[in-house]
Amino acid sequence: MAIAKYGSTDTLYPTLQPFFASPAVQTLSTSQTKLILEIIPNISWSTEKKLRASKQWTEWHDNCSELHAVQDADRLDAIGSVGIMRCAAYSAVAGRKLVSEEEGDDSAESHFAEKLLLIKDRMKVIVDHYFLLTSRLHGVRKKL
């Protein structure tokens, strides 16, 4: 069972039942529905890190192109303007400092250093366009 970021994977299908019952989605095959339910709890970098550390990372995780595309989209979202504001908002709600003078202190700044600034190296689908987008965060300019 995958590690779920927002609850148990046992509750995933019932939670998404209204989505799966909608007319536009009812055309999905059983295998497509199963794949969606398998991908969702495996999207986040934190989940990947935990699964790798516990030796639960499988061949499916390495080879599922649909999972890779969704993971990349999630990571690109995290470094976009909304993702950056989400990080700041979460820090405020969690009582986490935005910037800390102490090394190893939990802050939005440390989150950037530990996760967001490393996203370009964690992309699964290697595409020049992704590189250009993620490189902007690092201040790198690439001439076409």
Q: How many Cβ atoms from other residues are within 10 Å of residue 44's Cβ?
A: 18
* pTM of the complete model: 0.73
Interatomic CA distance for residues 60 and 81, integer angstroms: 32
User: Do both 19 and 78 map to the same domain?
Assistant: no
Which domain covers residue 105, as residue numbers?
Answer: 68-144
Q: What is the DSSP letter of 4?
A: P
Q: Where are the alpha helices (DSSP H) in the chain?
A: 12-21, 30-39, 45-53, 59-63, 65-79, 81-93, 108-114, 119-122, 128-137
pLDDT recorded at residue 141:
39
The model's pLDDT over 104-144, given as tens digits with 9 standing for 90+, comes to 778 888 887 777 778 877 888 766 555 655 565 555 433 33
The two tokens of residue 120 are 């370009």
User: Do both 38 and 83 map to the same domain?
Assistant: no
CB 73 within 8 A of CB 67: no
User: Do both 75 and 138 map to the same domain?
Assistant: yes
